[in-house]
Each structure stands twice: as C-alpha cells, then as structure tokens.
Amino acid sequence: MIQLRDYQQDAVNAVYDYLRHRDGNPCVVIPTGGGKTPVMATICSDAVNLWDGRVLVLAHVKELLEQTAGTLSRVAPDLDIGVYSAGLNRRDTDHSVIVAGIQSVYKRACDLGAFDLIIVDEAHTLPPDGEGRYRSFLKEAMVVNPNVRLIGLTATPYRMTTGMICTPDNLLNEICFEVGVRELIAQGYLCPLRSKASKHKVDMSGLHIRGGEFIASEVEALMDNEPMVLAACREIVELTQDRKKVLIFAAGVEHGLHIQHVLESHYRAECGFVCGETLPFERAETLQRFRDGQLKFLCNVNVLTTGFDAPNIDCVALVRPTNSPGLYYQMIGRGFRIHPSKEDCLVLDFGGNIMRHGPVDAIKIKPRENGFDGQAPVKECPNCHELIHAGYSECPQCEFVFESDREISHEKNASTQNVLSGKVELHEYDVHDVLYHYHVKRNAKPADPPTLRVEYLLGFNHYQSEWFCFEHTGYARAKAEAWWRERSNEPIPNTVNEAIALAEAGALAETTKITVRSVSGESFDRIINYQLGPKPPRLDGSDERDDAYLPEHAWPGDEIPF
C-alpha cells in the first residue's frame, strides 16, 4: 500500500470530498518536488481496486508522460498501466489505467473506451478557452461516459495571459487542496533556497510584451551580447565553486550556445546544452551525464522547465528575464528537490525575475491587459547582491545596514532572506493539558457553522490553539475528519458538541508533544506535528473497526466519489 505524507493524504481526501459533493472539476496544487505522483497513484489505485473504475492520465510532453508512467508503476506496482503515445510507439487501450499524450488521443476518445476519471498532470497547460485539444477530448469522452470527472494536478495554477486556471467557465473549476513551498521546506520535504542578483544590471525597459510574455527575439537580443555573457559566466563560475550541479536557463539558442562557449573556452568548464532542436538521443545522453555527475553545468532553452527530475541540482541560474510567473516558478522549481549532496539551492537571477514576481512562495497573480503587475516584497543588498525580504534593515548575509527603507513597503517584523518570503522557526513543546471549546467566530451570521477550538497548554499561561470544522463541508470537513481518525476509534462526530462530549469522555488519544511553526511577519503560529499516545478503545466496549485494511477515506459502504 502507498504510504502517503500527511499533506498528500489530505489532498486525496479533498479530491474525494469535492467529487462527492460538487458537480465541478477540482484541482490539486502541490509544489514541484512535493510529490504529486503518489497522490495521483492513490487516486488511480482506489478508483480501480476499491470502486472498479477506470482512469486516464493525460500529459502534454513525451518526457513527462514517460516519467509519469514509470513513477506510477513504481509507486503502485499492482496497477494495470498502459501507455498511449505516438512518440513512444505505444498504443495500449485495454488497461485499467492508461497514461496518454494529449496530442496522440485528443481525436480518439471513442477508441480508448469509457473512463470514470481523467487526471491531467501539469494542469496549467490546459487551454483557457476555445476548442483546445483537452476540451475536444473531454467532450468526446463524455459521450462515452457522461459521468466522467476531470481532476487537475499542478504546481502553478495560473497562466501568463489569463491568471488562475480554475474558474467556473474553464475545464477546471476550483482548487480543492493547496500546500505551499514554504510549508514543505519547513517540514523537510523541499530544499531551502537562497538567491543573488547579478552585479551587472540590464535595462529591460525597452522590452515589449506579447501574449503575456516578453517578445523572445527582443529578450535574446538584449541578453546575448559579449559583455553581458562574459559577466554572467564569470559570476556563475565564481559563485558556484562549492556547487555540484548548475542548471542554466538561456534566452534563446544562440544565447545558450554563447554561454556554453564562454564557460568552456574561458573557464575550461564543460557545459552541456539542450534545446528544442536537440536530437532525442543526444538530449537523453546529455541529461544522463548531468544526472550522473559527469557534467557540472547544463544550459538549456525552454526544455527543462517541466518533467525534468535531477534532485541534486544545487544552483539554478536564470540568465533571462520572464514576465510569466509560471515559467519563473518552474525554472526555480528545478532546484526544489532534496538530496543528500546539498544543503540548499542557490538561485542566481540575471534577469530581475525575483524583483519582478516576488518570492517564489508568494507570487502575486494580478491579470492586466499586458500581463501581470504587483509589488515584489524583496530588495537587493548593494554590498553582496543577496536578494532579501524588504523587511530587513540589515542584510543577514553580509550584515550591511540599509540607511533608509522609507520608500519600501514592508512588514514591521523581519521576514526571511533569499527567494522565500518568511523566516521559519520550529519549536517542540510538551503538552500539559488539552481543552476543547465550542467556538463561534466574531461577527458570525446566524447560518455560519461553529468550529471546535482545541487549546494545548504548553506552560504557565502559554496556550496554542487550532480549529476544526466538523459542521462545515469540503476541505474543512475533510481536515477535521483526518484529525479525528488519527486520534480515535469512535465514529466521526457531525457536530462540535458531539466532538466535545466524546473528547471529554476519553475518546481521543493523548497528545504528549506538538511542533509549532512560527513565521516572522505572520500573525499566527501553526501546529504542524503531534506526538500521540495509543488510540483508546471504543467507549461502548466494542472492537475497533474491522476494516482497518482499507484506506481511511474508503470505509465499507462509502459512496463512490465518481
């Protein structure tokens, strides 16, 4: 059985709750490197093994499709998985789970048979309107099975031109679950980040925007000049002496080849290069050499933003500007994964991207006529060029003291350095007592449901609280259910009063310790981990559930979520 992390199980629960209670199509947002595939594999396994369903997984590029099929097979080896892709010379149709390229199947829905669920990986590639390939395929798939449901998975739920991908009129309608970069870094699931801007500034005021992005030819003309390339390569070499894997994003093919030439001729540093025109066997060989450690530097043009997995990347160099928040995120995301060989990932920004878009965990999406706008709460240290949160009066890297920050809007409390927006601290406390309260929020309307407030006594007059919504619906209810199941063998209560009565009767496991996450600049701390005692026996003396072999979200008699 697949062992999910807590947030991954929460994502699965949120999907099922949405499918059961709403008519739309949900989307799950998990950062790059945060493990979307185990969530996908669990949904596929449940659909096939628990509910006798059939699942289609769609991807938009061959590399991502191949990677998804392989990872699904490893994570869920019991699944009957087929592949339908002209590029991979596979056309499987008689399987419980089929991983397919949208280019190969968008006119062949009837050939593949009926599906109960369609899962779209990298869902930000879905077209916003018109009869795109995904929309055409879904229309035909609904002819075969009118009850088919669509689920999206992505790290970036927005596009350059139209903002958020989930709207009532789009194929995906609502984000049912989201977990952030900062939270997963704090929990040790993603790699910490730090960043530096280039010492050499480039005037980008002359760049024009088309379709939400800077015009490619103008960007390459601006970045591909001898002084700029020489300066960028010199900084890359100087700042990565203690780095093992450096992934470089160039503005165009000629620019990328120029970077490769300078690194190899001036610094005797072998640098791989891949672009859209690179032959498949040559690309595969270059990427393998990079993964295996034979290449320290790898330069690419628009091909390694999604579907490329090299966890040991410890530096990402953005030698290009982008106006796309999604592309900005995907480039930096190549360094998110944890690996024993690295303590953090260094982001070198030569295109002003962090200043343009803000911290990667707090990108502001504001649709405008010519793209996106918004103030990025970061500033650059004039001494060491570290990119830090605007709230710092002293650089945490070199201790440079800023004379005046009057023109910069920032929080009163200092937040984190680098490309992240909040300094995270974790504290573990012994729990001396737990209190349960019926809570109604201030200025609540008569129809607003109450919540269960749980207070943990951590010391003299030191309490930490959290709230659970047993009388709500959707993700809030799913979160309350997961919290209860982890602590009790009793049926999940439907009201706050029931929950309090059961808790005070001894139905919940003892909480002995909690871990609290504090983020500077944020008003409230959050509990992220618990140390629990054993679950107590049922209050009525009956045996514990006899369905423990089933996942928590699939008790016998549970309604099929599709």
Compute CA distances 42 → 66, 73, 77, 293, 554, whole Å.
19, 12, 12, 33, 12
Joined tokens for residue 357: 């878009």
CA dihedral angle for residue 9, residue 15, residue 21, residue 27, rounded to 10 degrees: 150
Closest CA to 433 of 457, 463, 453, 462: 457
CA 326/CA 161 separation, integer angstroms: 11
Cβ pair 419, 400 in contact under 8 A = no
Give pLDDT tens digits for 89-99: 888 888 899 99
Q: Of 181-195, 367-381, 461-475, which gets the smallest average pLDDT? A: 367-381
Kindly report the CA angle at 266 between 265 and 269, in degrees rounded to 5?
Answer: 70
Q: Please, which pLDDT band fits residue 213 given cuts at 50, 70 and 90?
A: confident
pTM of the model: 0.64
CA 197/CA 355 separation, integer angstroms: 9
Could you tell me which residue, 392 or 508, shows the higher pLDDT?
A: 508
Alpha carbon 199 to chain centroid, angstroms: 31
Give pLDDT tens digits for 294-340: 999 999 998 887 667 788 899 999 999 998 888 888 899 899 899 99
**Domain locations along the chain:** 6-179, 186-421, 426-532
Secondary-structure class of domain 6-179 per CATH: alpha beta
Element (H, E) at 28: strand 26-29
CA 388/CA 291 separation, integer angstroms: 30
Q: Please, which pLDDT band fits residue 394 given cuts at 50, 70 and 90?
A: low
Element (H, E) at 117: strand 117-121
Q: Of 197-201, 514-518, 525-529, which gets the smallest average pLDDT? A: 197-201
Give pLDDT tens digits for 135-167: 888 888 888 888 899 999 998 887 655 567 888
Q: Is 119 helix (H, G, I), strand (E, B) or coil?
A: strand
Q: Please, which pLDDT band fits residue 410 given cuts at 50, 70 and 90?
A: very low
Could you tell me which residue, 160 or 484, shows the higher pLDDT?
A: 484
- pLDDT of amino acid 378: 56
Joined tokens for residue 221: 């003309």
Domains 6-179 and 186-421 share a fold: yes
Cβ pair 68, 57 in contact under 8 A = yes
Mean pLDDT of 45-66: 84
Give pLDDT tens digits for 258-280: 999 999 999 999 999 999 899 98
- pLDDT of amino acid 549: 44
Q: Where are the beta strands (DSSP E) in 236-358?
A: 246-249, 271-274, 297-300, 315-318, 345-349
Joined tokens for residue 260: 């490769």
CA 54/CA 38 separation, integer angstroms: 17
> What is the CATH number assigned to the segment(s) 186-421?
3.40.50.300
- Report the residue count for the chain: 562
CA 425/CA 308 separation, integer angstroms: 31
Mean pLDDT of 113-140: 81
Give pLDDT tens digits for 97-114: 999 888 888 788 888 888
pLDDT above 50 (res 547): no
